[in-house]
Structure 1
Amino acid sequence: MADEVDYEALPTTSVATNMLAGALAGITEHTVMYPLDSVKTRMQVLSPSPQAIYSGVANALSRITTAEGFATLWRGVNSVIVGAGPAHALYFASYEKCKEVFSNMDNGYHHVSHAMAGACATIVSDGLMNPFDVVKQRMQVHGSTYRGVTEAALDIFRKEGLSAFYISYPTTLMMTIPFQSIHFATYEYFRKYLNPSGKYDPKTHIVSGAIAGAAAAALTNPLDVAKTLLQTRGAVVDQTIRHASGLAEAFRLIYQRHGLVGFTMGARARILSHMPATAICWTTYEFMKMILSQQPGFQKEPIQLAETPQG
């Protein structure tokens, strides 16, 4: 019988391994749950057309599919595929390296080091991903006529300039830094709590990832609503929204139009999207990191999960 793989002993400092595993994980995460992300974007638009006002996630999915076709839920997915690969490669490579550095300095406060590593990783990856996210959301909104990513990107650049791709970047960072800090700290906590032996266990990655994704998505939704407003401002006719220039103005408009409840717009769709997406992302990442690892003799033996202790 093959020996169990000591998962915690696998090398984690190989940049190439972390980048490739991260790229595959990011693409998988974003594409599988893309329809719910499309619904989330539609529900967060501050001044939607009458045809794009939905009473809930199920209602939105049904109406979009019936009125516009199932393919509409996937509009803009190519932008995510192109951007998510390199962005997540940088994301996970940065995370692993920063986690190693901070863990050597934190005197046992591992949750802090994981949160700090997550924050550093997101600054790097969001700088690359933000333009792709703008194009994606412009293609997701109701009434979008763009036939492809290139057409959308060129049209945005021609009409609004380069700044349109980065107008939301400060807001994105203000959202994703706490999002990823909560996400990574929660994931690492539950991964250790549910699997103290440190053996390779996909169930642990699925559960820990889902919990981490739900918590981070719920707590940062107000900032995501503001980000959507800034990224889709060029797609609405409301001139006040079209001239919104930053987070403070976005918050003011959201509160002015919808009160505090406005900051919860799209929250359910966002949580429903992030729970499985984050679980998929971490499961894919940890599995690919395992496979790509150069531990001697690893590929010659099958992966064996840790046995459950019998009572």
Structure 2
Amino acid sequence: MQSSSITALLSGALAGLMVDISLFPIDTVKTRLQSEAGFWKSGAFRGIYSGLGSVAVGSAPGAALFFVSYETSKMELARRSRLGTTTNHMLSSSLAEIVACLVRVPSEVIKQRSQAGQGTSLQLFKQTLSVEGLAGFYRGYASTIMREIPFSVIQFPLWELIKVHWSKQGEIEPWKSAVSGAIAGSVAASLTTPLDVAKTRIMLAQERVGNSEGIWKVLSNIYHTEGVQGLWAGVLPRVLWISIGGFIFLGVYDTAKYYLGRRSHVNNGPAENYKV
């Protein structure tokens, strides 16, 4: 594996783990607000760290896969095609989400069911495997992809664009990358909240129990039973979570990438310039 891929893998793993663990309580509140049972019946503020085990297992490899795929796609598309920069970033982030969700979705299924008060991570792992089989761990895979691709299509080009703007003033310091990530994340989070609500409902549903339909059917059901307010359930904690998460996630990623790149420069030759 090339040094640039190893750098992306290690940086992504560190960034993903730091975000998911540090902001887990906000994510739990968001999940319970989006649950069909409602915030209070799903546990309110009790057991705010329920499901943390599944995140600890799946976060690092999921984020690592994303950034390895993202950086590789960016380089290959730039080398092999005449796509514009923004289109390149959109396609690269979309491809990276499809790959990363192979690891992220099983972790997310167990995490969200635990957050909604359905059991511990280990209990839910055994229950899902025995009742739904391996397919149960990928409940909501399509809806997750349909949420993540629009999210990434908004977030990553915007993140890269803000960094380009700052690069005109000189080197992009890690804190600038972090602020860029927070801005891009908050915009993307607010616009894709209805898709996140639908994904949550699908993942929380057990085999043959409600909300096992496709994402558009679930969105329609939410709209007709709960109105527009239901589609935007949990929007505030989601935006808060992802804006802070974007600050940490993309900031830590670029910081780790920068310092690992400098080490690579010392050991193996020129490292990647810390500019877009």
User: Partner residue of 1:39?
Assistant: 29
Which residue identity does 1:249 align to in structure 2?
K
Distance 1:108 1:226, change over 3 A: closer
User: Partner residue of 1:145?
Assistant: 119
Contact persistence 1:91–1:125 (CA under 8 A): yes
User: Partner residue of 2:78?
Assistant: 103
Q: Return the TM-score normalized by structure 2.
A: 0.89
Q: 1:297: Cα distance to partner?
A: 7.6
Contact persistence 1:192–1:198 (CA under 8 A): no
SS of the equivalent of 2:119 reads coil
Q: Does 1:182 align with 2:154?
A: yes
Distance 1:145 1:108, change over 3 A: closer
Which residue identity does 2:127 align to in structure 1?
D
Among 182, 189, 193, the alignment partner of 1:210 is 182
How many angstroms apart in 2 are the aligned matches of 1:134 and 1:167? 7
Q: 1:47: Cα distance to partner?
A: 3.1
Contact persistence 1:118–1:184 (CA under 8 A): yes
Contact persistence 1:38–1:73 (CA under 8 A): yes
Contact persistence 2:113–2:119 (CA under 8 A): no
Q: 1:269: Cα distance to partner?
A: 0.8
Cα deviations across residues 30-63 of structure 1 (Å, max 9, x unaligned)?
Answer: 11111110000000012337x338xxxxxx9xx6
Q: 1:249: Cα distance to partner?
A: 2.5
Higher relative contact order (CA 8 A, sep 6+): 1
Cα deviations across residues 233-257 of structure 1 (Å, max 9, x unaligned)?
Answer: 129xxx8x53523213212221121
How many angstroms apart in 2 are the aligned matches of 1:285 and 1:103? 21
Cα deviations across residues 144-190 of structure 1 (Å, max 9, x unaligned)?
Answer: 332xx222211122223322221200111111011112111010000
User: Partner residue of 2:167?
Assistant: 195
How many angstroms apart in 2 are the aligned matches of 1:94 and 1:199? 25
Contact persistence 2:55–2:108 (CA under 8 A): yes
User: Partner residue of 2:243?
Assistant: 275
How many angstroms apart in 1 are the aligned matches of 2:212 and 2:224? 13
Contact persistence 1:83–1:129 (CA under 8 A): yes
Contact persistence 1:167–1:246 (CA under 8 A): no
Q: Return the TM-score normalized by structure 1.
A: 0.79
Distance 1:215 1:90, change over 3 A: same
How many angstroms apart in 2 are the aligned matches of 1:13 and 1:249? 45
SS of the equivalent of 2:36 reads coil
How many angstroms apart in 2 are the aligned matches of 1:119 and 1:285? 18
Q: 1:265: Cα distance to partner?
A: 0.6
Among 76, 97, 100, the alignment partner of 1:125 is 100
Q: 1:92: Cα distance to partner?
A: 0.4
How many angstroms apart in 2 are the aligned matches of 1:154 and 1:128? 18
Cα deviations across residues 70-99 of structure 1 (Å, max 9, x unaligned)?
Answer: xx1111112112101111111001100111
SS of the equivalent of 1:104 reads helix
Q: Does 1:155 align with 2:148?
A: no
Q: 1:130: Cα distance to partner?
A: 0.4
User: Partner residue of 1:168?
Assistant: 140
Which residue identity does 2:131 align to in structure 1?
K
How many angstroms apart in 2 are the aligned matches of 1:52 and 1:212? 33
How many angstroms apart in 2 are the aligned matches of 1:159 and 1:108? 46
Distance 1:126 1:198, change over 3 A: farther
User: Partner residue of 1:244?
Assistant: 212
How many corresponding residue pairs?
A: 267
Which residue identity does 2:166 align to in structure 1?
L
* Rg larger for: 1
Among 8, 19, 27, the alignment partner of 2:17 is 27
User: Partner residue of 1:296?
Assistant: 266
After TM superposition, where is structure 1 displaced by more than 6 Å over at least 4 residues in a row? Answer: none
Which residue identity does 1:74 align to in structure 2?
Y
How many angstroms apart in 2 are the aligned matches of 1:290 and 1:101? 21
User: Partner residue of 1:85?
Assistant: 60
How many angstroms apart in 2 are the aligned matches of 1:170 and 1:227? 9
Aligned sequence identity (%): 32
User: Partner residue of 1:219?
Assistant: 191
Quote the RMSD (CA, aligned, Å). 2.4
